[in-house]
Each structure stands twice: as structure tokens, then as C-alpha cells.
A and B are shown apart, each in its own frame.
Chain A
Amino acid sequence: MEEAIEILQNGSYAKVLGGGHSLVPALKLRLNAPETLVDVTRIESLKGIAIEDGTLVIGAANTHHEIATSADVHNTLSFLAKGASAIGDVQVRNKGTIGGSIAHADPSADWPALLLAADASIVIQGADGTKTVAAQDFFTGFFSTILEESDIITQIRIPIPPEGTKSTYQKFVQPASRFAIVGCAAVKEPSGATRVAFAGVSDYAFRDEAVESASSSGASAEEAASKAAEGVSIMSDHYASEDYRKHLAKVYARRALVEVS
């Protein structure tokens, strides 16, 4: 770990390599050409999934498949397993890592929305030591995060919600890339407190506070979902235009809320 951080600090253009499913294709297409690659997936301290004092701890180098099939994840926050199993395809899930995915911060990736809805924290080790950042503060824009060049994500820490909490991830998939056109992660605690986050809709994953507050204060799924994706900039591409995406966000918010109600 220390060696990895040292290499990242030594001045050459270096990139951290996780599962490689975003970075390696970019290298192949010559869209990016770092001088140094630091493969962190064999660092033992970045591996492992455990429950510690009411917190689910996922090492950054765990693969999507490992998370999707983890008993600890299934027993505590099953929607993370569901979300993980909807990423890419089998081979991508076998190799791609949670840390790599959130560091890349693709607006259509599933993990950012899942972690936002889970109220996760992200542990980062860098030149100045270790810090823990709320997922809410981690994602800062289109493919951008607070990560510095020499930072390595080490862990994702997720508070295990109270008994009786329901959660889900509903994904409308882009059939070619298998990324989310719209992914809606929702968590509803027995108190009614609701967290709803979207992937694929805007420049980066976001918590939809209007939907959350409506749902938390007892609005029906339909009513709360009607407030989804208002007031945010919405992506548009050849597969889904802005207003269609917005429509889908509402449909998927409702479907997610119905599931957790």
C-alpha cells in the first residue's frame, strides 16, 4: 500500500488500476496514456467484506461478483447485492471492483447511486494519511470526485440500517453498454425515513431530496416519485433524450418506492 502511494506521488503521470474495465479500454483506444499504472487489486488490505460494529465494510478491491454473492451483504443490505449483480456482464463483474467504479465516477455507473442511497462513507488513503468521506461529498461532477492523484480508495463503509429497513435497486439498462439509462436506488427505514438516489440521469449520481422528503413524510410512492429529477440537469444521448430520461426517472422512482413500501 505504501509502495503504491509512493509510486503515485513520484511525479510521473500515474493511474490506479482496479478491475480495468473502464481504464484498459480507454488505453486500448488511446484515449488515455499514463506513464505508470498501479494495479492495487492484489493489495490484501483492500480486500474482504466484513461487518464491524453495525457497519458493513467492503474493501475497495472487491469485485462486483464478490459483493453480489456475499452473505454479509445479502443479510444486511441486499440491494447492494442486487445492484452489483446488475453491473455489466459476468466477466465484468468477475474483474471490476467497487473502488475502481466509484473512482471512475461514470455518471451511468450503478455503484455511486447505490452508495448514496446506502449513506455510505468512503475511506481514502493518500499522501496525507487516511480520511473518510461521505458518499454525498465524494462525487463532484461528470467523471469527477474529490480524489487526488495519489489517493487510493481503501474501503467503503456502510451503516447497517435498522431491522425492517427495505431497499431496492431498479435499473433501466442501456442494452449495448449495460450501463444504467436510469438506475434508482431506494432505502426506506421503518421510521419512514427514505433515501433515493439516481444513476444515469444527471452528470453524476445524486440523492433526490424532493422525492426523499415527500416519501419520508408519508406521501404515496406515486406522489413522491412525481417529484423525481426536477431541477437537475439531465443527460441526453442517442438512446434516451432528456425528457424521456426524466420520465423514466419518475417511473423508476415509483417502482422503487413501491418495492420498499
Chain B
Amino acid sequence: MEIKISVNVNGKDYVREVEPRTLLVHFLRDTLRLTGTHIGCDTSSCGACTIHVDGIAVKSCTMLAVQADGSSITTIEGLAQGAELHPLQEGFKECHGLQCGFCTPGMIMTAADLLAKNPCPSESEIRHGLEGNFCRCTGYHNIVKAVQYAAEKMGNEVSA
């Protein structure tokens, strides 16, 4: 049995038939071939699969694709505005907030949720805000800096 779902992903509408047990992350990766969203665990712990569903950060490995029917989804592939990187993407590059890059999409999507809720987070608020995402490469030091970079840049843009 397959169920028809309609989703908007990164501004584009898709209508697809999915098996009810298909996880949203598999739908994105295998059906839509948006492979920037990664899978790092099977216990909803690592955050590598984090995307935005209707504007909030969720772990796409913990949602069924059918549950996303009618939703608007943003993945890492949809974060930049054309050629212009999102300030978080820029921050991660400028501050060396990534090494192997595997956790990076999820980390950036979670950080985007954080900055949407709290545009000027303290270091401790950033660390707390990223507690749902593992990074094994960076020791988080430069990730914190990357988020600070983005917060500053986005703040400047608002005030400018």
C-alpha cells in the first residue's frame, strides 16, 4: 500500500507515493535525492538528519514521510538564497566550523532554529541549543564561533 503525499521542499512542490513506513529522511534522500540530510544513528540522538518542517527544527529520522503531508520543508540544500550563502553557512566556512562535513547540515539547520528563536544567544545558550547534534570532529569550539559569527551578521543585517 502506498499513500500519496504532497510536500513543498525548498520551495518546490512534490507529489509522491510513499510506503507508510518510509521515514521522512529516507523520502528526502532516496526519493527526492536530497542527500545533504544525513543519517548518523538509529535512536534519534545525533541530529545529523535535522531539517525544518513548517519552520521548526526536527529530526527527519523520527518522522514518517506521510506525517509531512501538506508541510513545507527546508533542508540544507534550500538554505542559501541562490548563490548567496545563509549567514550560518558562511559562518561555518569562515570559522572552520566543520571538518568531515557529515554533521554539518544538521548542525546548521539546528543553529538556524536557535537563531530564529534567540537572535543574540550567549555562548552557553548556543551550546545548550546544539545539544541535540553530535559533532565528532570539531570539539564544537569553532561551531560555537560560527553561530556567533552568523548571529552577528544577521543582527547587523537587521539593524542596517
Contacts and interface: CB of A to CB of B under 8 A. Distances in A.
Interface string A71-108: 00000000000000000111110110000000000000
Nearest to B114: A90
B15 to A, nearest CB: 19
B63 A20 contact: yes
A95 B131 contact: no
Interface stretch (A23-31, A124-132, A193-201): A23-31
B42 A25 contact: yes
B62 A90 contact: no
Contacts of A39: 64, 67
Contact of A20 (B45, B47, B57, B62): B62
A10 to B, nearest CB: 16
Interface string B4-30: 000000000000000011010000000
Nearest to A65: B56
Contacts of B62: 20-21, 24-25, 91, 95
Contacts of B114: 90
B119 interface: no
Given A37-B64, A178-B131, A91 B42 contact: no
B44 A21 contact: yes
Contacts of B23: 24, 28
Nearest to A85: B128
A15 B133 CA distance: 28
Contacts of B58: 91, 94-95
Interface in B22-69: 23, 42-45, 47, 50, 56-59, 61-64, 67
Contacts of A90: 57, 110, 113-114, 129-132
Contacts of B61: 24, 28
Contact of A89 (B20, B21, B67, B132): B132
Interface of A: 17, 20-21, 24-25, 27-29, 37, 39, 65, 88-92, 94-95, 176-178
6 contacts: A65-B56, A89-B131, A89-B133, A91-B59, A91-B62, A94-B58
